[in-house]
């Protein structure tokens, strides 16, 4: 059993003082009853609502965001908007960070978590968790590009691991990588004289961006979806 203010503070982005303010202001309920005492004792399984929204009682949070253009993949930035600003208060929590980077102008599937070990597992190149992207370029996509990607494009920081390029249209393709270097896809197409005009991440491991998640929106990843990400990891490291 923990004090209500303490448990709210540990599961949200609120400080202890702010949590007390919400409680005394009548904005917190436990199992359906409004509780105005910060000292009220709650257990792990009690349902706590903050401003009518349920706060997660889980040890770690895993959030999927459909990243819109114009946001940087960072926890803080002096000048630019960060992906963390898109996380609503009821899903917000201390220690959240984006698991992997997408460029400011890249859109699509982004995972935000407070679990460092999980993030490491999906990002470490030797774990081979694949990431797929829908790409549009300014030139026709060619068989030469496809072969080049499969053989390993040579960039200034070394040869890339083989990547899959599926031609989906004259200037569009789906590219699947098992590593994530800085501006990797843009630089890979750059080797063929092409410029990426649109980049959208479709999936991480076996987990695809949910179709009903509009740009700028996020939600908690379900345990089943989390398994999809993890399953791919074990299948591919075998
Ligand atoms: N490759 C890029 O060039 N940019 C991204 O955001 C992701 C992969």
Give the count of beta carbons closer than 10 Å to the beta carbon of residue 63.
25
Would you say residue 237 has pLDDT above 50?
no
pLDDT digits (tens, 9 = 90+) for 77-126: 999 999 999 999 888 999 999 999 999 999 999 999 999 999 998 888 77
Q: What's the rounded Cα separation, in Å, for the pair 49 and 235?
A: 39
**219: burial class by Cβ within 10 Å (0-12, 13-18, 19+)?**
middle
Would you say residue 233 has pLDDT above 90?
no
Q: What's the rounded Cα separation, in Å, for the pair 24 and 28?
A: 8
Q: What's the rounded Cα separation, in Å, for the pair 91 and 60?
A: 11
Position 238 confidence tier, pLDDT thresholds 50, 70, 90: very low
Q: Whose CA is nearest to atom 2 of ligand 1?
A: 183
| Whether residue 73 has its Cβ less than 6 Å from ligand 1 | no
Residue 168 in tokens: 């989906």
Q: What's the rounded Cα separation, in Å, for the pair 19 and 76?
A: 23
Position 44 confidence tier, pLDDT thresholds 50, 70, 90: confident
Residue 56: the pLDDT is 81
Residue 232: the pLDDT is 65
To the query of whether residue 103 is one of the catalytic residues in this protein, the response is yes
Lowest-confidence segment of 124-133, 188-197, 220-229 by average pLDDT = 124-133
pLDDT digits (tens, 9 = 90+) for 158-192: 999 999 999 999 999 999 998 889 999 999 999 99
- Dist. CA 106 → ligand 1 center (Å): 7
Lowest-confidence segment of 132-136, 211-215, 228-232 by average pLDDT = 228-232
Average pLDDT for 61-71: 97
Say whether 2 sits in a helix, a strand or coil: strand
- Dist. CA 119 → ligand 1 center (Å): 17
Q: Whose CA is nearest to atom 7 of ligand 1?
A: 102
Of 73 and 235, more confident? 73
């Amino acid at each position: 059993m923990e004090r209500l203010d303490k448990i709210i503070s540990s599961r949200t982005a609120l400080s202890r003082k702010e949590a007390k303010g919400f409680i005394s202001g009548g904005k917190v309920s436990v199992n359906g009853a409004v509780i105005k005492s910060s000292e009220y004792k709650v257990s792990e399984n009690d349902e706590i609502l903050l401003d009518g929204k349920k706060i997660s009682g889980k040890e770690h949070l895993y959030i999927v965001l459909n990243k819109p253009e114009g946001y940087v993949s960072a926890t803080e930035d002096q000048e630019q908007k960060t992906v963390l600003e898109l996380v609503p208060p009821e899903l917000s929590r201390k220690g959240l960070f984006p698991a992997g980077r997408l460029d400011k102008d890249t859109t699509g599937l982004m995972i935000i978590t407070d679990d460092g070990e999980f993030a490491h597992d999906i990002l470490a190149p030797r774990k081979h968790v694949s990431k797929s992207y829908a790409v549009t370029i300014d030139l026709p996509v060619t068989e030469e590009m496809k072969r080049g990607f499969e053989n390993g494009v040579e960039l200034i920081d070394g040869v890339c691991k083989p990547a899959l390029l599926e031609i989906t249209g004259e200037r569009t393709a789906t590219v699947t990588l098992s590593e994530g270097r800085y501006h990797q896809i843009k630089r890979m197409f750059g080797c063929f004289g092409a410029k990426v005009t649109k980049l959208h991440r479709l999936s991480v491991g076996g987990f695809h961006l949910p179709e009903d998640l509009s740009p700028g929106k996020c939600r908690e990843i379900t345990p089943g979806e989390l398994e999809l990400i993890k399953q791919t990891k074990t299948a591919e490291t075998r």
